[in-house]
Amino acid sequence: MREKKSIRSRAPSASSPNVRYVMQQNTGHETDAEKLLRSELHKIGLRYRKDTRPEPSLRITADIVFTKQEVCIFIDGCFWHGCPLHFKLPKTHADWWLEKIEDNRSRDERQTRKLQELGWAVLRYWEHEVLPDNYAQICSDVCQIVKAKRPR
């Protein structure tokens, strides 16, 4: 039986130079939503690490990590993580993109489950949820969980 190639190795070529440029500019971290949430959390006195591995032995990088309290936050992009409200499947290479987004969703679930098994509190927010109208609620939720978890 032939081994299936990874989805990344089977990525199709960009459909145009403009699409290629846009995809090259997508770094996957330091999004506006991440910066804004970090800023709000810092304003209320919470200190954290950004873009770091909660568990060094695992290949999982969270957007915001409270290491001592074992709390991590992921801010999932609507496109890359398949937001039920905003994700629109591209028309070009639709089969590949559908597989890619499903693979991302499965990875997110596996990572969340693995961290929770190790005692971590895992919070996930869609990028469209990190807006000024929601800052107070998100910060309150984060604050409550961080304070409830005892440092190691």
Mean per-residue pLDDT of the chain: 89
Given this model, what pLDDT does residue 78 score?
A: 93
- Residue 17 resides in a domain: no
| Confidence bin at 3 (pLDDT 50/70/90) | low
23 inside domain: no
**What does the pLDDT look like over 73-122, one tens digit per residue?**
999 999 989 999 999 998 888 999 999 999 999 999 999 999 999 999 99
**Rounded CA separation 67/79 (Å):** 28
- % of the chain at pLDDT higher than 90: 72
The string of DSSP letters for 58-97 reads: SS--EEEEETTTTEEEEEE-TTTTT-TTT----STTHHHH
Q: Is residue 71 part of a domain?
A: yes
pLDDT surpasses 70 at 145: yes
As for how many domains the chain has, the answer is 1
Q: Which domain holds residue 69?
A: 28-148
- Judge whether 3 lies within some domain: no
C-alpha distances (whole Å) from 94 to each of 26, 27, 55, 100 are 19, 22, 35, 10
Q: Can you give the pTM of this predicted structure?
A: 0.85
Asked whether the beta carbons of 60 and 53 are under 8 A apart, the reply is yes
Residue 74 near residue 63 (C-beta atoms within 8 A)? yes
Instruction: Assign residue 104 the CATH number of its domain.
Output: 3.40.960.10
DSSP label of 128: G
